[in-house]
Structure 1
Amino acid sequence: MDIEKVRSRFIKHFDGKTGNVYMSPGRINLIGEHTDYNGGFVFPGAVDKGIMAEIRPNDTNTIQLYSIDLKDRVEFDIDDPEGPKASWARYVYGVAKEMKALGVDVKGFNAAFYGDVPLGAGMSSSAALESCFAFAINDLFGDNKVAKWDLVLAGQATEHKYIGVNCGIMDQFASVFGQEGKLMRLDCRSREFAYFPFNPEGYKLVLINSKVKHELAGSPYNDRRNSCENVVKQIAAKHPENKYETLRDCTWEELEEVKAIVGEEDYNRAHFVLGEKDRVLAVCDALEKGDYETVGKKMFETHEGLSKEYEVSCEELDFLNYIARVNGVTGSRIMGGGFGGCTINLVKDDIYNKFIADAKVKFAAKYGHEPEVYPVVISQGSHKVC
């Protein structure tokens, strides 16, 4: 990211003095979809694209913000119970309020920021924004006394209370806890996590954005969640001696016991979730051995399950996955909730250029527009740049 870009705008729009520069990344999720609300594992990592902000306390109670991307300026009092109306500024307002609730003596500050996280690519620009300001406020006003997990939860609470999005914790977690060259297995139930090496020499990681609008919210999402909960309910009825909370607690044998009761659709959806739980653990083992071929195989299996069993793919994403297969890509799958967005692809260096060119030409010929291509590198989480 461009430090001079944020610094020049900060100097221009404020008092000519400089402040501290902070950066928080967006994220990818290598594998582990629709596992969060089923008590399972996700496997994210921070990337080399995110939000960068220059911030300086201004000795008042007023927060003054300038969005470089939107060319918009907003200011508000930290104690204003309503906060700003501009949706982008409410992220910063919410984070400031949540950090204050954690005991940080948040005062007014000036800030200019910009981002290079592609919008609509499922890389969580909003979580990067929240994490950047939470980290900065903790550094400037809290003497770094607030724990990283509390920074994560402050970002999540901002989404819930001030934006109206009932998100999970993966996005903020990846942005705050990310490490260069490492992915993280996060247990969505216990919040326990572990780092795994991701240094795929001879491979590139690239997202290909179909530019199809993501529309998982509402009924499609709820239907799938209800399917999973119904299967758990039926398994629990057969085994009252055990405590079942989510599909995480269920076995393959128990799923087969209720197949006739729950019906084909619910069975297929639960079958995907149990398979995805196993695939995440298999990828962990493979990465510790440096076995990227197995990682890629599991990615393809996840796509097949999301497409055929969980039914959250779309024609365009299946086509991008097909192009990856015929080009000999090591691994490819839908990244995110589905019904649009990106595929994430693990590609050997020697076929990378041909694959990207083929994907652009064939996709454009079929759908009338080229997909967008975003190479990513697993990078450091929230940090002070200077």
Structure 2
Amino acid sequence: NKVRAYSIDKKDLVEFGLNEEDAPRTSWAKYIFGVCREMIKRGVKVEGFDTAFAGDVPLGAGMSSSAALESTYAFALNDLFNGNVDKFELAKAGQATEHNYVGVNCGIMDQFASLFGKAGSLIRLDCRSLEYEYFPFNPQGYRLVLIDSVVKHELASSAYNARRQSCEAVVAALQKKYPEIKCLRDANFDMLKEVKNNVSAEDYKRAEYVIAEVQRVLDVCDALQKGDYETVGQKMYETHYGMSKLYEVSCEELDFLNDIAKESGVTGSRVMGGGFGGCTINLVKDELYDNFIAKAKEAFVAKFNNPPKVYDVIISDGSRKLA
């Protein structure tokens, strides 16, 4: 009852059992093992299997490569072993894999996007209720492009958990006055100001970013419905500023790429993913695309002596069976 898993990209074969004590030490294999365990907990009769996988999602670049792997295997195991687990629970299995087998106290957004993605659409997800809504994303005359700084981050060893603790500390302070508050999305700036002296300056900044970002999400959804991509781009820049100066999860390379985007007339640019390296995602007018890419590459090499990678983005459907 063994799993033999082969990573084509890493040229690495790992074999492991399906019991709790059989956890592999290899980092990428922990994701597959964790999904197996979480699917077993959800009543799926997972048995031994052979598997090989490859992908073109950049690793450690803020593109949710781990969620892609988790969601793929949750979907595949559910199908292979005739499970009856719905897509909501498959997303939760991926999230639980991060919590229980990888050591990252992540949310559910990345796994949800990997499973529920829809071509030509962006998702607005309520992570509390898991209610979701699709918004049209058909930016005629614009292109989405990722610029990968090739600065790598491993989420578990980053400050992700520290940021979460900051938010929870502010919520605890708010609850003394407003017991109905469960998380920062329930608060507003007036409430936050009332507890400014009861939390650290650092935690206060983190909360400022989160509360502003919640409103930005709503603003972007309104803009998408109107086909107003200039406002979408403006909000992307606002998000980058907040992630850089308030939440402090950007880095010199990403701030540099964001500045180049502004100088090149790019409509919108921001950190992609958890920060601390990885990519910026950019909304660029077609006529500015070639100049922006050339300028970004040239300036980045001159500054950091390392060429960035460029990925054109297509919004596609989520996990699915191809044949």
> TM-score under structure 2 normalisation?
0.91
Which aligned pairs between 1:355-374 and structure 2 lie closer than 5 A?
Answer: 355-374=292-311
Equivalent-residue separation in structure 2 for 1:100 and 1:278 (angstroms): 39
Equivalent-residue separation in structure 1 for 2:3 and 2:164 (angstroms): 40
The alpha-carbon deviation at position 264 of structure 1 amounts to 4.5
Residue 69 of structure 2 is aligned to residue 129 of structure 1: yes
Residue 121 of structure 2 is matched in structure 1 by 182
Residue 218 of structure 2 is matched in structure 1 by 281
The alignment-based identity, stated in percent, is 63
CA separation of 1:263 and 1:155: change in aligned 2, threshold 3 A = closer
Residue 112 of structure 2 is aligned to residue 152 of structure 1: no
CA separation of 1:351 and 1:92: change in aligned 2, threshold 3 A = same
Kept in 1: contact 2:4–2:51 (CA 8 A): yes
Aligned residues: 323
Residue 139 of structure 1 is matched in structure 2 by 79
Residue 57 of structure 2 is matched in structure 1 by 117
**Structure 2 regions of 5+ residues with no counterpart?**
none
Residue 143 of structure 2 is matched in structure 1 by 204
CA separation of 1:166 and 1:194: change in aligned 2, threshold 3 A = same
Equivalent-residue separation in structure 2 for 1:254 and 1:77 (angstroms): 51
Residue 22 of structure 1 is matched in structure 2 by none
The alpha-carbon deviation at position 221 of structure 1 amounts to 4.2
Residue 36 of structure 2 is matched in structure 1 by 96
- Please tell me the residue identity of whatever aligns with 1:302: T
SS in structure 1 at match of 2:139: coil
Equivalent-residue separation in structure 2 for 1:225 and 1:63 (angstroms): 34
The alpha-carbon deviation at position 223 of structure 1 amounts to 4.9
The answer to which structure has the higher helix fraction is: 2
Equivalent-residue separation in structure 2 for 1:115 and 1:354 (angstroms): 29
Equivalent-residue separation in structure 1 for 2:57 and 2:208 (angstroms): 33
196-205 or 347-356, which deviates more: 196-205
The alpha-carbon deviation at position 104 of structure 1 amounts to 2.0
**Structure 1 regions of 5+ residues with no counterpart?**
1-60
Equivalent-residue separation in structure 2 for 1:247 and 1:62 (angstroms): 44
Kept in 2: contact 1:63–1:76 (CA 8 A): yes
Which one of the candidate residues 130, 146, 150 is aligned to 1:191? 130
Residue 69 of structure 1 is matched in structure 2 by 9
Kept in 1: contact 2:124–2:132 (CA 8 A): yes
CA RMSD in angstroms, aligned pairs only: 2.3
Residue 181 of structure 2 is matched in structure 1 by 244
Greater RCO (Cα-Cα under 8 Å, separation 6 or more): 1
SS in structure 2 at match of 1:384: coil
Kept in 1: contact 2:104–2:155 (CA 8 A): no
Residue 245 of structure 2 is matched in structure 1 by 308
Equivalent-residue separation in structure 2 for 1:311 and 1:174 (angstroms): 24
The answer to which structure has the higher strand fraction is: 1
Deviations 1:95-135 (CA, angstroms, capped at 9, x unpaired): 22322222222233332221111112111222212211221
The alpha-carbon deviation at position 321 of structure 1 amounts to 0.7
Deviations 1:115-167 (CA, angstroms, capped at 9, x unpaired): 1111121112222122112211211221x521111211222222233333332
Equivalent-residue separation in structure 2 for 1:222 and 1:310 (angstroms): 13
Kept in 2: contact 1:176–1:382 (CA 8 A): yes
CA separation of 1:119 and 1:222: change in aligned 2, threshold 3 A = closer
Which aligned pairs between 1:74-93 and structure 2 lie closer than 5 A?
Answer: 74-79=14-19, 81-93=21-33
> TM-score under structure 1 normalisation?
0.77
Deviations 1:232-264 (CA, angstroms, capped at 9, x unpaired): 344333x35x42222211122222333455465
- Please tell me the residue identity of whatever aligns with 1:119: L
The alpha-carbon deviation at position 218 of structure 1 amounts to 6.2
CA separation of 1:129 and 1:264: change in aligned 2, threshold 3 A = closer
